[in-house]
Amino acid sequence: MKLFVYDTPELTPTGKTPDCAIAVDVLRATSTIATVLASGGEAVQAFSDLDQLIEVSEKWPAEKRLRAGERGGAKVAGFELGNSPLDCTPELVQGRRLFISTTNGTRALQRIQDSPTVLAAALINRAAVVQYILEKQPETVWIVGSGWEGSFSLEDTACAGAIAHSIVEQSQLSLEELAGNDEVISAIALYSQWQNDLLGLFHQASHGKRLLRLECDEDLKYCAQTDILDVLPMQQEPGVLKSK
């Protein structure tokens, strides 16, 4: 098994797909996806284009759908939800499909959607993702951070490091055997430095600061927790994730 970390979708090799690809957007798309599925949502369908989201979701009965849209950290007008996992309560999402489009996370999912296995990971469901990787032992694994509009983001790379760190700890393989690129070593180092203060890391991150300006303090606290949800969002068809 070889692990590769890519800090943004744009940095992934073109014309290639791994055996297993993991999308990471800690603040907040993959945290929201995991929360929706853990709360009983039927599925999450991701779109990079808002008009396409509206067109597809119109075909679903109103009582069976929810639309979540976020641009620049703020909710898109006319949508029921923005991108806050805290709004995704069981009472609201139970049995419904969430149609979601966000600034960064949905682009990451789109980039890797042709891989045989596609997972969505955040810190809150890290353990479930790691357990799957250790059980299935895919030959190549990409962990793809969403970043922010094509640029590096601290929180996504730290989450990639959290996943890689846990795989190294729990497998019989050495870091030298597992690491497919230098970014794996870098991500583990970042996570190792901040693992006891992930919320502090979020406060240093540019997107964390953006969300603090939007008064999303509670979102940051929630997303900074590790291993609190036993849920594995897995792509069933392109763009559609369900709990495995």
Question: Are 143 and 9 contacting, i.e. CB atoms less than 8 angstroms apart?
Answer: no
What is the pLDDT at residue 102?
87
Instruction: Answer whether residue 90 shows pLDDT above 90.
Output: yes
What is the pLDDT at residue 65?
97
Instruction: Answer whether residue 48 shows pLDDT above 90.
Output: no
**Per-position DSSP letters for 109-177, written without gaps between them:** HHHHTTSSEEEEE-GGGHHHHHHHHHHH--SEEEEEE-TBTTB--HHHHHHHHHHHHHHHHHSSS-HHH
What is the pLDDT at residue 37?
98
pLDDT band of 72, cuts 50, 70, 90:
confident
What is the pLDDT at residue 74?
85
Per cent of the chain over pLDDT 70 is: 100
Determine the distance from the C-alpha atom of residue 112 to the mean position of all C-alpha atoms in its chain, rounded to a whole number. 12
What is the pLDDT at residue 105?
80
Question: Are 243 and 38 contacting, i.e. CB atoms less than 8 angstroms apart?
Answer: yes
